[in-house]
Amino acid sequence: MSIALNRAIFILLTLFPIAGFCQPFATQLVEAAMARTHQQVSYNGAYFSIAYPNGDVPQHLGVCTDVVIRSYRTLGIDLQKEVHEDMLAHFNQYPSKRIWGLSHTDKNIDHRRVPNLQVYFSRHGERLANSSKKEDYHAGELVTWNLPGNLPHIGIVSDQKSSITGNPLIIHNIGSGPEISDMLFAYKITGHYRFMPENNH
Q: What are the structural domains of the chain?
A: 25-200 (3.90.1720.10)
- For the beta sheet containing 168-172, the strands, ordered from the edge strand earlier in sequence to the opposite edge, are 126-127, 188-194, 142-147, 151-161, 168-172, 179-181
Higher pLDDT, residue 16 or 122: 122
The pLDDT score that the predictor gives to residue 23 is 83
The pLDDT score that the predictor gives to residue 55 is 98
Residues 6+ apart with CB under 8 A from 93: 119, 123
Within the chain, strands assigned E span: 42-43, 61-62, 126-127, 142-147, 151-161, 168-172, 179-181, 188-194
Mean pLDDT of the residues in the chain: 91
Q: Kindly tell me if the per-residue pLDDT of 20 is higher than 60.
A: no
N-term to C-term CA, the chain: 31
For the residues 11-34, what does the mean pLDDT come to? Answer: 72
Q: What is the pLDDT of residues 137-182, one digit of tens each?
A: 999 999 999 999 999 999 999 999 999 999 999 999 999 999 999 9
Residues in the chain, total: 201
For the residues 192-196, what does the mean pLDDT come to? Answer: 98
The pLDDT score that the predictor gives to residue 13 is 46
Choose among 70, 61, 57: nearest CA to 43.
61
The pLDDT score that the predictor gives to residue 8 is 53
The pLDDT score that the predictor gives to residue 19 is 43
d(CA 91, CA 114): 16
Report the percentage of the chain scoring pLDDT > 70.
87
The CA-based diameter of the chain, rounded to the nearest angstrom, is 65
d(CA 158, CA 155): 9
77, HSE (Cβ side, Cα atoms, 13 Å): 19
Q: What is the pLDDT of residues 64-109, one digit of tens each?
A: 999 999 999 999 999 999 999 999 999 999 999 999 999 999 999 9
Helix 64-74 crosses helix 25-36 at what angle (to 10 degrees)?
Answer: 130
The pLDDT score that the predictor gives to residue 200 is 43
Q: Which DSSP letter does residue 106 get?
A: -
Pairing relation of β-strands 179-181 and 142-147? unpaired
Q: Which DSSP letter does residue 136 get?
A: G
Q: Kindly tell me if the per-residue pLDDT of 2 is higher than 50.
A: yes
The pLDDT score that the predictor gives to residue 34 is 98
